[in-house]
Amino acid sequence: MKDMFGKLYIRSSEQVIGVLFVVRKVLGKRESLRMCKFSILIACYNKEKFIKDCIKSVLAQTYDNWECIVVDDCSTDGSYSFLKNISDSRFTFIRNDTRKYYSSTYAEALKHATGDICGILDGDDTLAESAMSVVAKRYKAHPHIGFIYTQHYWCDKSLRSKRCGLSASPKKGKSLAEMAHSGRHCFSHWRTFRLSLAEKGTIFPEGLQVSVDKNMGFALEELAKGAFLSKVTYFYRYYKGNMSLVQGGNQKATTKRLAKDRIRARQQNSTRVYPVIKIK
């Protein structure tokens, strides 16, 4: 029973036992996943209109073992003013001394990660409430998998879902780089990877301004086996001012060039490329 202030009162021992059982059951489920800590990495540049939604989606997660590293890339709007006023100790806020663009900014965020799994979240997008929980369960079920990416919803400026996203598993016998070179982009939101992979190779090269996400996939498939999960865990905001629209042509050309260079280097160096499988 609740009083006028919404406080909960329990009238009987049966109710007490029932509440304790439910609490223990919930905590037990969370404890089973507690070994896996998430590091959410956010790069922010002039996202004042959207960064609040982004942060709220992290705070709303049903999974509670996480940290969030946010790097502001010298925003000129009110983005950093909002961020630095967040007092939650699970957040770490960093501001670049000069504009470094997305790849270098994510590389900086990665340096501060202490979790087991890293998840990339753009400052104008949001996560589904169960995103971390869903992905953490898959990593636990597939210990040989080094990175997992999911499906997303393609949304308008107000985050109203427009259609299902572009994420997919590569064709049999094809790599992410080969798919991208042929014009098929498979590796998309939500992108996650085990932090241990950062010790094996460069995931975010310094200075890359566009196609950072595609290049990330090319790098990861040289470091470990990957997996695609068709469940939607991410809301991608597509609007005027979005990177895909502002630098769409440049991004497509850069992606093809990066894919071509990567394929050539693999052939020359006999680089092993790990498969990407589809999981449920």
Q: How confident is the model at residue 98 (pLDDT cuts 50, 70, 90)?
A: very high
pLDDT at 47: 95
CA distance 151 to 248: 21
pLDDT at 187: 95
Give the mean model confidence (pLDDT) for residues 234-257.
75
Check residues 2 and 149 and name the one with the higher pLDDT. Answer: 149
Give the mean model confidence (pLDDT) for residues 72-93.
95
pLDDT digits (tens, 9 = 90+) for 155-177: 999 998 889 998 999 999 999 99
Q: What is the DSSP letter of 81?
A: H
Please give the share of the chain, as a percent, with pLDDT higher than 90: 80
CA torsion 175-180-181-182 (nearest 10°) is 100
Residues 6+ apart with CB under 8 A from 204: 103, 104, 106, 107, 110, 212, 216
CA torsion 199-80-42-31 (nearest 10°) is 90
pLDDT at 262: 97
Taking phi first (over 0 means left), then psi (-120 to 50 degrees means alpha), and beta for anything else, what does residue 270 get? left
pLDDT at 6: 40
Residues 6+ apart with CB under 8 A from 79: 44, 45, 46, 47, 48, 51, 72, 123
Q: How confident is the model at residue 72 (pLDDT cuts 50, 70, 90)?
A: very high
Other CB atoms within 10 Å distance of the CB of residue 265: 13
How, if at all, do strands 225-237 and 145-155 pair? Answer: parallel
Whether the pLDDT of residue 82 is over 70: the answer is: yes
pLDDT at 252: 86
Calculate the alpha carbon distances from 20 to 16, 23, 53, 151 in Å: 6, 5, 34, 36
pLDDT digits (tens, 9 = 90+) for 199-215: 999 999 999 999 999 99
User: According to CATH, what is the number of the domain 35-279?
Assistant: 3.90.550.10
CA distance 36 to 34: 5
pLDDT digits (tens, 9 = 90+) for 8-23: 333 444 443 343 334 3
Q: 114-150: buried (b, 16+ CB within 10 Å) or exposed (e) per residue?
A: ebbbbbbbbbbbbbbeebbbbbbbbbeeeeebbbbbb
Whether the pLDDT of residue 94 is over 70: the answer is: yes
Burial category of 16 from C-beta neighbours within 10 Å (exposed 0-12, middle 13-18, buried 19 and up): exposed
Q: What is the DSSP letter of 114?
A: -
How, if at all, do strands 126-127 and 225-237 pair? Answer: antiparallel
pLDDT at 10: 33
Check residues 57 and 20 and name the one with the higher pLDDT. Answer: 57
Q: How confident is the model at residue 250 (pLDDT cuts 50, 70, 90)?
A: confident
Residue type at 253? A
Check residues 29 and 255 and name the one with the higher pLDDT. Answer: 255
Taking all residues of the chain, what is their mean pLDDT, rounded to a whole number? Answer: 87
Question: Considering the entire predicted model, what is its pTM?
Answer: 0.85
